[in-house]
Amino acid sequence: MNIDFDKILATGAQLADSAKKTAVDLANKGKKQVDLLNAQTRLHKTQRQLGALVYSLAKNGEENDLLVKKYVEAISRIEEEIEELKKREAEQTATESANSPLVYTYTMEQEEPAAETEKVCPQCGALVEEDALFCKHCGTQL
Ligand SMILES: [Zn+2]
């Protein structure tokens, strides 16, 4: 799914005052789209972490099925969340008039560059990537 954010922002910028209820409804719609984008950002981040983990394991000739499984489960949950958000958005879009003005108030989660920093696992004290979901040593959720 592609969302043309430049277009959305431009449309939002052109918006004059409109009926309060309409503004609230559309703000909710905007929030859903942002939730969706944020979930997709989280998905990409988690997939990248899984990729880095699998690469690191393969490179070192190691296995950690439990940790890989945890990442796969985390990714599945995010994918389910995205499907749910898409479904709700589609339902809502279907009931709206086609040419409503758009209002967006949101905070975007920025996709961060690959982590260069590390933090210490509170459970076992191992050094793990700053944005890792799970400790690669003991599997604790961080
Ligand atoms: Zn740990």
Please list all protein residues whose beta carbon sits less than 5 angstroms from ligand 1, which is an ion: 121, 123-124, 126, 135, 137-138, 140
Q: Hey, how many other C-beta atoms are within 10 angstroms of the C-beta on 13?
A: 8
Question: Residue 139 C-alpha to ligand 1 middle, in angstroms?
Answer: 6
Measured in Å, residue 66 CA sits from the centre of ligand 1 at 13
Spell out, as residue ranges, where the chain has pLDDT lower than 70: 1-26, 95-116
pLDDT at residue 105, rounded to an integer: 58
C-alpha 90: how far from chain center: 19
Q: How far is the CA of 90 from the centre of ligand 1 (A)?
A: 41
**pLDDT in the model for residue 20:** 62
Measured in residues, the chain has a length of 142
CA–centroid distance, 99 to ligand 1, in Å, is 52
Domain coordinates in residue numbering, the chain: 5-110, 112-142
Expressed in angstroms and rounded, the spacing between residue 39 Cα and the centre of ligand 1 is 26
pLDDT of residue 116: 61
Q: How far is ligand 1, taken at its centre, from the CA of residue 47, in Å?
A: 20
What burial class does residue 131 get, using C-beta atoms within 10 Å of its C-beta: 0-12 exposed, 13-18 middle, 19+ buried? middle
For ligand 1, the distance from its centroid to the CA atom of residue 141, given in whole angstroms, is 8
Q: How many beta carbons lie within 10 A of that of residue 120, not counting itself? A: 12
pLDDT value, residue 115: 45
Own/partner contacts of 53-61, CB < 8 Å, gap of 24 or more, are 53/136, 56/136
